[in-house]
Amino acid sequence: MKKFGFGFMRLPTLPGGGEGDIDYPKAFEMVDYFLSQGFTYFDIARGYMEGNCEAAFNKCVAQRYERDKYVLTDKLTVDYFKTREDILPLIENQLKVTGAGYFDYYFLHSVSRLTYPKFLSCGALEILRPLKEKGLVKHIGISYHDKSDFLDEILTAHPEIEVVQIQFNYADYRDTGIDSRGVYETARKHNKPVLVMEPVKGGILSRLPERAMAVISELNEELSVSPSRGSSPASYAIRFAASFEGIMMVLSGMNNLEQVVENTSFMKDFVPLNPREYEALEKVNEILKATDAIPCTNCRYCTSGCPQNIRIPDLFACLNSKRSFNEWGSEFYYEVNTASGGKASDCIDCGQCEDACPQHLEIRSLLREVAEVFEKKEEENGN
């Protein structure tokens, strides 16, 4: 299996439509190209694409390809069950909605100190065991969002967990808040193959500020990089993650055909990073840390529970764009995002979003910064 997978969480959407209004002709093209290049792995979850992800997978892949042409991972998310009795019918429904017949991998989704007690008290892993015996789930795994010590506890108590999906990218590798390196090393200590999510940190590592881009350009010139090797910032970020020992798969939530064409070109005959490339990424990382960007990955776990309907990651993106690139359009996008959702200052401090955030961001305090930057200006203009 080639070690690059297609995450179905940022599929193209119809112009003016919401996240769930998938542009199927475009999505078909992306899937067809991905499979035509010899890649097979898809990652889905019930909550992605405003709840339409599993049905989209059925339409894009299961109805159009034989079952042996793809490998599929689906997940059990705590938001979709209340009691132990809910879990089996939920998984049966996921099998039906995806049309996949069986799951190659089935993960407990977004495991952390917050969600794990519910998985445990509802006996989620016990329920998966007989499904595995019946061949409906081939392998059991977890997608993980917490520190290494807690992962160690979980993997020690549950050796039946076969694979671990983690957030891993060059910006988070040494970040003590995210503990990417520690989590990776813990999974490997338990001999678990590792799957990587967010290799480009929700797009942050693909849109580098000018000074960081100059480092990449210099590198490409020096190495006379051919396009099939990958020369974009995203290509280096994906290859960084894939270069580590024990990485089974690097996932990308691709949004258009160009991304699929580019990513498959350099992951087809994958070449690990060389020392000069590592050195350049170190430099890029130093520049990024100095720009003070909010490390939000746009996973959107925070938005569904917000009583004020604040488009939290979009407002953070506006602030990042203003800080990193001094981008003129960020004020405009702030207005667009707050026209269809609450303003940063509408936050009522309930804290739900912070409980849901896998990056452990202090969302409320960051929203105050957002309001300070964007809403002061509005007040001055008398809006």
Q: Does 293 help bind ligand SF4 (rule: CB under 6 A)? A: no
Q: How many residues bind ligand SF4 (CB under 6 A)?
A: 28
Pair of tokens at residue 370: 């957002």
Eight-class DSSP state of 159: T
Nearer to ligand SF4, 274 or 309 (CB): 309
Q: Does 356 help bind ligand SF4 (rule: CB under 6 A)? A: yes
- SS3 assignment, position 122: coil
Among 357, 370, 371, 373, binds ligand SF4 (CB under 6 A): 357
* Cβ neighbours, 10 Å, residue 333: 17
Eight-class DSSP state of 13: B
CB of 274 to ligand SF4, least distance (A): 31
Pair of tokens at residue 275: 């020392």
Query: In the chain, which ranges are continuous DSSP H helix?
Result: 24-36, 53-57, 84-98, 116-121, 124-133, 148-157, 180-189, 210-223, 233-242, 257-267, 275-291, 312-325, 330-339, 352-356, 363-380
Among 55, 265, 352, 378, binds ligand SF4 (CB under 6 A): 352
Q: Which of residues 223-262 bind ligand SF4 (CB under 6 A)?
A: none
CB of 188 to ligand SF4, least distance (A): 25
CA dist 378 and 383 (Å) reads 5
Cα distance between the two ends of the chain? 55
Among 8, 39, 106, 301, binds ligand SF4 (CB under 6 A): 301
Nearer to ligand SF4, 290 or 350 (CB): 350
Q: Does 178 help bind ligand SF4 (rule: CB under 6 A)? A: no
CB of 304 to ligand SF4, least distance (A): 10
Scanning 89-97, 140-148, 279-287, 292-300 for contacts with ligand SF4 by CB under 6 A, the matching segment is 292-300
CA dist 335 and 321 (Å) reads 14
| Amino acid found at 268 | K
Q: Does 310 help bind ligand SF4 (rule: CB under 6 A)? A: yes
Q: Does 351 help bind ligand SF4 (rule: CB under 6 A)? A: yes
Scanning 88-96, 112-120, 145-153, 354-362 for contacts with ligand SF4 by CB under 6 A, the matching segment is 354-362
Q: Which residues pair with 165 in a beta bridge?
A: 143, 195
Question: For residues 186-216, b (16+ Cβ closer than 10 Å) or e, as one string?
Answer: bbbeeebbbbbbbbbbbebbbbbbeebeebb
Nearer to ligand SF4, 281 or 357 (CB): 357
* Footprint of ligand SF4 (CB under 6 A): 296-302, 305-308, 310, 312-313, 347-353, 356-357, 359, 361, 363-364, 367
